[in-house]
Amino acid sequence: MATGAVPAEGGGYTGPVETSALLDPRLLIVTGKGGVGKSTVAAAVALASARQGARTCLVEVEGRHIFSRLFDTQAWDFTEREFRSGLWGMSIDPEASLREYLDMFYGARRLSRLVASSSAVEFATTAAPGIKDVLLIGKAKELERRRNPDGRFCYDLVVLDAPPTGRIVNFLRAPDVTTELVNVGPIRQQAQSLIDMLSDHRRTNLLLVTMLEEMPVAETLDSAAALRGLGVAIGPVLVNRVLAERTDKAASKAMAELSAADLQALLVTAGVELDAEAATALLDAGAASTKRLQLQRRQRNQLGKQLQVPTLELPYVYSERFSADELGILASVIERAVEG
Ligand SMILES: Nc1ncnc2c1ncn2[C@@H]1O[C@H](COP(=O)(O)OP(=O)(O)OP(=O)(O)O)[C@@H](O)[C@H]1O
Ligand SMILES: [Mg+2]
C-alpha cells in the first residue's frame, strides 16, 4: 500500500505471477472494466479451484444476484453455503459486516443491532466514504483467516468479485485512508491488518479481467500502472471472450476476394441455392468477423507489449443462456493452465 503501509513479513515483491500459480494465493480480488465478464470469470476461477480440490469461497459484494442465477441456486446472503462440492458462496453487505464487526470487538450484540441499522451504516458511509469498503475487505479477511477447531484454515481460497477498475484503487486504499484518520484502537489495528493482507503477495493477488478490444485494453493498462503504485500483486491477466481463429491467412485472403456471384456458384455445387442478397449478407458477416479478428490480434499485441504480465485467454462461449455448463468450459481452461 502506498502510504504508511507496512507490508507483512516475507510478503514482498516476488516477481510476476506465472499462470500456473493463478490459484496459489489465499485471496483473489477480481476486477476489470464494467461488462468485460468479471463476475463470470470470478465464478469460473472459483469453480476451477474447487474442482482442483481446494475449499473455495466465492464472494459477491454488490448484491446483484449474478451467481445464484449463474449456478441456479437459491439467492445468496451473508451466510456462506456450500452449493457444490468444495465450493461455498456468499453475498457481503456492509450492514451485516458492520454488525458482525461490532459484535466481534465489543461483544454487544443487542447494542450493535441497534447501531447497525441502515441509517447508522448510511451515516458512517457518508461521514467516511471508505468505511463501507473497509467493512467489505474486512469480511473477506475474516473468511481468509478463519480456522477450523483443528487449526487449519477453513478456506484454501477466497475469490472476491470486486468493484470495477474505475473504483478499485479507492476500494483498496480504504484501509490505508482509515489508518491515516485513526491513530489508535481496534479500528486502526483492523485497518492495518487489512493492509498487511492486501500487500502480502503470497496471500493476495489481484486478477484483472479484460477483453481484446480497445477500451478494455486501455483501461487494463492504466489500472495495472495505478495498482502497481499501490504495491498490490497483480496475478495473470484474464483475457475473456476471445474469439477462435478458425481460418489461416490464405483462407482469409481467398474469402476476401470472393464475390457474391462466386459464392452463389460455389454453393450451388453443394446443392444450396442462395439469392444475391443472402450471398452478400454472408460475405459481409465473414468480412466483419475477419475485421474483428484483426482487431483482436492488434489488441493482443498491444497488451503483450505494454503489460508484461502473463495472460490467460478464455474463449468466447456461444450460448443462448450463459449457465453452469458454459462456466465449466472456462473453468477447464483455467484448470489446464494451472496444471501446466
Ligand atoms: N467467455 C464468455 N463467453 C461468452 N459470454 C460471456 C463470457 N464471459 C462473460 N460473458 C457474458 O458477458 C456478459 C457480462 O458478463 P459479467 O456479468 O460477468 O460481466 P461483469 O464484468 O461482471 O459486468 P458488470 O460490470 O456489470 O459487473 C454476461 O452476459 C455474460 O454471460
Ligand atoms: Mg459483475
For the segment 257-287, what is each residue's pLDDT rounded down to a tens digit? 999 999 999 999 999 999 999 999 999 998 8
pLDDT at position 6, please? Answer: 38
Instruction: Band the pLDDT of 46: cuts 50, 70, 90.
Output: very high
Q: Taking CA 131 as the corner, what is the angle to CA 118 and CA 185, rounded to the nearest 5 degrees?
A: 110
Q: What is the pLDDT of residue 192?
A: 92
Residue 74 alpha carbon to ligand 1 centre in Å: 20
Specify the pLDDT at position 206: 96
Banded model confidence at residue 3, pLDDT cuts 50, 70, 90: very low
* 273 exposure class (CB count in 10 Å sphere: 0-12, 13-18, 19+): exposed
State if residue 38 touches ligand 1 by the CB under 6 angstroms criterion. yes
In-domain check, residue 296: no
pTM summary value: 0.88
Residue 6, in any domain of the structure: no
pLDDT at 330 over 70: yes
pLDDT of the residue at 23: 98
Q: Is residue 31 within 6 Å of ligand 1 at its C-beta? A: no
Residue 10: what pLDDT?
46
Residue with the nearest Cα to atom 19 of ligand 1?
Answer: 37
Residues 118, 130: Cα–Cα separation, whole Å: 17
pLDDT at 106 over 50: yes
* CA 86 to ligand 1 center in whole angstroms: 24
pLDDT band at 4 (very low <50, low <70, confident <90, very high): very low
**pLDDT at residue number 1:** 46
pLDDT class for 233, splitting at 50, 70, 90? Answer: very high
d(CA 59, CA 61): 7
Distance between CA 189 and CA 168 in Å, rounded? 22
Q: Return the closest-CA partner of residue 54 out of 176, 201, 153.
A: 153
Whether 297 is in a domain gets the answer no
Residue 7 has pLDDT above 50, yes or no: no
Per-residue model confidence (pLDDT) at position 256: 84
Number of domains observed in the structure of the chain: 1
pLDDT, mean over the chain: 88
Judge whether 301 lies within some domain.
Answer: no
Segments forming the whole domain that contains residue 145: 19-247+309-339
Torsion, Cα of 33, 239, 41, 94 (10° steps)? -30
In DSSP terms, which residues pair with 147 in a beta bridge? 153
For residue 324, being part of any structural domain is answered with: yes
Asked whether the predicted pLDDT for residue 108 surpasses 90, the reply is no
Q: What is the pLDDT of residue 110?
A: 55
Q: Is the CB of 317 under 6 A from ligand 1?
A: yes
Q: Is the CB of 192 under 6 A from ligand 1?
A: no
CA distances from 158 to 90, 231, 291 (A): 11, 20, 39
Does ligand 1 lie within 6 Å of residue 33's CB atom?
no
Best CA proximity match to 69, nearest among 50, 34, 43, 87: 43
Q: In CATH, what number is assigned to the domain containing residue 70?
A: 3.40.50.300
